[in-house]
Structures are given as C-alpha cells and as structure tokens.
C-alpha cells in the first residue's frame, strides 16, 4: 500500500489493527479458559501478558508511518548514486530537461503575448472602451450601478453615442454595441426544420470596420446597414456557425427576433 | 521474547525469519503464528504480541507478506498472512545466510583450542 493510500485509509487501518489485536486477545483468553482458568481471571492474565495494547498499536503505526520516509530516502539516495555512476547519462538527461523546459517556457511566453493576452483584432493596442467600470456588457436591468458603486459612465443612449462619434476627433472611429443580448431564431434555407436559438447583439454599422476584422464568408456590416429602413442583416460568428452546423458554402439563413 | 529458565533472546532479525518460515506453510493469522513458533520450538520461544505485530506490519509493508481478512476457525474474521513471491525469495536467501552464519560460528566455537 502506498503512503498516499495510507494517509486516506488511516481510519480503516486503525480499525483493522484494532480488530486484529482484539482477535488475538480473545483467542488467548479462550485458550486460558479451556485450560480451566475462570474467564475473568483469564482476561486479567491476558491483559498482563499483552502489556500495553496501545504501545503495540503505536509500534505498528510507527512501522507504517516512518517506513515510507525511509524508503523514499533510500530511493533518492539510490537515484543519486546511479546518476553519479553515469555522468554521461546524467548530463544528457539534465541538458534534455533544461532545453525542453526552456523551449516550452519561451514558446508559451510568445503565445501568451501574441494570442492569449491580445484581442483578435487588427490593432488591439489602439482599442479603448469608454466607461468607468471594468466590466461592461454583461449587464442586466436598467441601473448603471455596479457592485453598489454608483456609475454614470458605462452605458450610453444611442443619441449620446452619435454625439460622441461626431465630436470626438481624438478617436479614429467610435463604434457601439448594445448592452445585454437578444434571442434570435435561426433557420437554414431549404427543408423546414426546427429553428435554432442563438444569442445576438445589436452593433453599430461601423463596428467590424472599427475592429479591423474581415469576414470569412459573405460580408460584414457597413454604415449603410444601420440606416432607418435598411433591410435587416446579421453577422454570425464562425463558432456559432459550427455549433448549429451551417454548411461551409454559404446558404441563406433566416433570422427572427424572438423578444 | 519472554525470558525464563529455558527460554532465550533471539538475535535481531531472527524473528522476521521465523515468522516468514511459519507463514510459508500456508495462510495463517497472528495468534496462530505465535502458537506455532512456540510449539515448534518446544516452548523455548514465546513470541510476544508487542514484537509479533510490529514485525508482521513491517513485513507486510516491505511486501514480503500479503494479508487478507477471512473467517477463522472460531468463526470470527481474522487477518491471515501469506508469503508473497518476493517473500519466498527473501526467505530462501535469508535461510541460506543463517545456515552459513551458524555453520561458521559453530565451526569456530566447537574447534579445539589446541592450535592457539
């Protein structure tokens, strides 16, 4: 039994030890009774012969408890001795490990900077969000307060956005996205199946252009799309198209707003 | 070991050897091991619980012995020990060591003192 198991099964081991010793005790008493000694006397004698039963248990525990440390030390000493005996192997192993760890760390650092920490947009360093709270879009209800802190600068009405956009020359462009989400039903063209429900979000016409991303298939939204009277259009994320299995050749899908 | 007139102390490590020898005869619980050693030695050796159980647990930990709970002759469940294959090899080697050692020791002790 490994030392880890022994840690977890300590209670069972204790119970087993108890059971084992009491079995021995009872047999010893029974033997004495068979030889003609009255039971109470037999018990007394056996107790004396046993000495301290707790002492025996402690000795057994000690065997179990310290043996793993001893064998661990033995293993370590053995490993070191073997390594010293084969310096060529040791050097190769250490170098291999060092190179492996070094390379992995270097690659991870690169991936971390290039892919994990930056947004998948053309110039993430030039992207800013207007607001005074660290979170913006996961928002419910109408209050702008978050975490009981009053906040007036996180959510803006559409008209305010238009005003900002027209009067903020400091930014190359200013795009808007709608706070919260809306449910959309998506149905593939062709045979009528049940529609899939997906989450959508309104964005301003210049949203994708501002982020500097391009479409995998078809086109993204343009300013003309958010004019009044323009036909409704939607952009589906690649991930979403995979989940609801839109064929790779672009097909017509129909969208219905659910709420 | 209990020491009376015709009883004596065992050299260190010998108890392990005796236990393994008795266990080699077939699965057996702690009480029976003590009894068996006492019988075979014609009462010269009486193994105390205080040395028997720590030794059993040590041997089990070293994987020289295996243990299993099963009903004993009294009907109560008892922990039965048996020799592992590692234990069997160990017992064989240790028995040879012991025989060699005692042979050499008696060779010296029983030799005549004339040559000195």
Of A28, A56, A63, Cβ closest to residue B58: A63
Asked if A23 and B54 come within 8 Å (Cβ–Cβ), the reply is: no
Q: Taking an 8 Å Cβ-Cβ cutoff, which residues of chain B contact chain A? A: 29-31, 34, 48-50, 53-54, 57-58, 61-62, 69, 72, 74, 76-79
Nearest-CB residue to A20 (from B30, B62, B74): B30
CB B57 within 8 Å of CB B106: no
pTM: 0.46
Question: Which residues of A fall within a CB distance of 8 Å from B61?
Answer: 1, 63-64, 67
The residue among B53, B59, B63, B81 with the most chain A CBs within 10 A of its CB, best to mutate, is: B53
Span A115-161, pLDDT tens digits: 777 777 888 888 888 877 666 555 544 455 555 565 666 778 888 88
Higher pLDDT, A7 or A31: A31
Contact A59 B30 (CB under 8 A): no
Instruction: Report the distance separating Cα B64 and Cα B24, nearest Å.
Output: 11
Q: Do A56 and B53 touch (CB under 8 A)?
A: yes
Cα–Cα nearest to B59, from B98, B100, B30:
B30
Pairing of strands B65-71, A253-257: unpaired
ipTM: 0.77
Domain boundaries, chain A: 3-85, 122-259
Of A28, A60, A67, the CB nearest to B53: A60
What percentage of chain A exceeds 90 in pLDDT? 14
Contact B58 A50 (CB under 8 A): no
Structural domains in chain B, CATH included, are 14-109 (1.10.10.10)
DSSP A53: H
Residue of A nearest to B1 (CA): A49
User: DSSP assignment, residue A200?
Assistant: E
* pLDDT given at position A115: 73
The one-digit pLDDT tens for each residue of chain B (116 residues) are 444 445 566 776 789 999 999 999 999 999 999 999 999 988 888 888 888 888 898 898 888 999 999 888 888 889 999 999 999 999 999 999 999 999 999 988 887 766 55
B37 closest CA partner among B28, A27, A46:
B28
Contact B81, B65 (CB under 8 A): yes
Closest chain A residue to the Cα of B32, Cα to Cα: A24
**Looking at beta carbons, which residues of chain B come within 8 Å of A15?**
none
Q: Do B76 and A50 touch (CB under 8 A)?
A: no
pLDDT in tens, A171-187: 899 998 887 777 888 77
Size of the A and B interface in Cβ pairs below 8 Å = 62
Q: What is the pLDDT of residue B1?
A: 44
The confidence score (pLDDT) of residue A189 equals 67
Burial status of residue A134 (CB atoms within 10 A of its CB: 0-12, 13-18, 19 or more): exposed
| A6-25: average pLDDT | 80
């Amino acid at each position: 039994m490994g030392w880890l198991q022994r840690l977890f099964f300590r209670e069972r081991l204790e119970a087993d030890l108890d059971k084992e010793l009491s079995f021995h005790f009872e047999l010893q008493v029974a033997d004495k009774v068979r030889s003609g000694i009255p039971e109470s006397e037999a018990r007394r004698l056996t107790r004396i012969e046993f000495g301290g039963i707790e002492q025996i248990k402690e000795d057994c525990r000690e065997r179990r408890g310290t043996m793993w440390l001893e064998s661990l030390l033995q293993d370590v000493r053995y490993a070191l001795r073997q390594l010293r005996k084969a310096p060529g192997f040791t050097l190769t192993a250490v170098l291999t490990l060092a190179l492996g760890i070094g390379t992995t760390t270097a690659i991870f650092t690169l991936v971390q900077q290039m892919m994990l920490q930056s947004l998948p947009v053309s110039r993430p360093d030039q992207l800013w969000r207007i607001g005074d709270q660290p979170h913006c879009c996961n928002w419910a209800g109408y209050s702008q307060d978050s975490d009981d802190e009053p906040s007036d600068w996180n959510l803006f009405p559409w008209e305010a956005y238009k005003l900002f956009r027209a009067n903020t020359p400091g930014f190359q462009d200013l795009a808007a996205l709608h706070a919260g989400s809306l449910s959309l039903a998506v149905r593939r063209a062709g045979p009528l199946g049940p529609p899939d429900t997906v989450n959508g979000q309104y964005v301003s016409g210049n949203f994708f252009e501002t982020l500097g991303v391009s479409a995998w298939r078809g086109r993204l939204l343009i300013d003309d799309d958010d004019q009044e009277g323009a036909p409704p259009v939607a952009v589906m994320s690649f991930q979403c198209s995979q989940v609801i299995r839109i064929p790779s050749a672009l097909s017509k899908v129909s969208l219905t707003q659910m709420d | 070991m209990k020491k009376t007139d015709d009883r004596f102390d065992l050299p260190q490590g010998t108890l392990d050897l005796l236990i393994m020898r008795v266990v080699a005869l077939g699965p057996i619980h702690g009480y029976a091991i003590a009894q068996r050693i006492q019988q075979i030695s014609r009462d010269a050796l009486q193994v105390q619980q205080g040395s028997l159980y720590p030794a059993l647990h040590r041997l089990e930990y070293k994987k020289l012995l295996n243990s299993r709970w099963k009903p004993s002759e009294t009907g109560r469940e008892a922990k039965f020990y048996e020799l592992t294959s590692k234990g069997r090899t160990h017992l064989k080697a240790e028995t040879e060591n012991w025989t060699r050692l005692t042979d050499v020791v008696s060779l010296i002790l029983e030799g005549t003192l004339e040559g000195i």
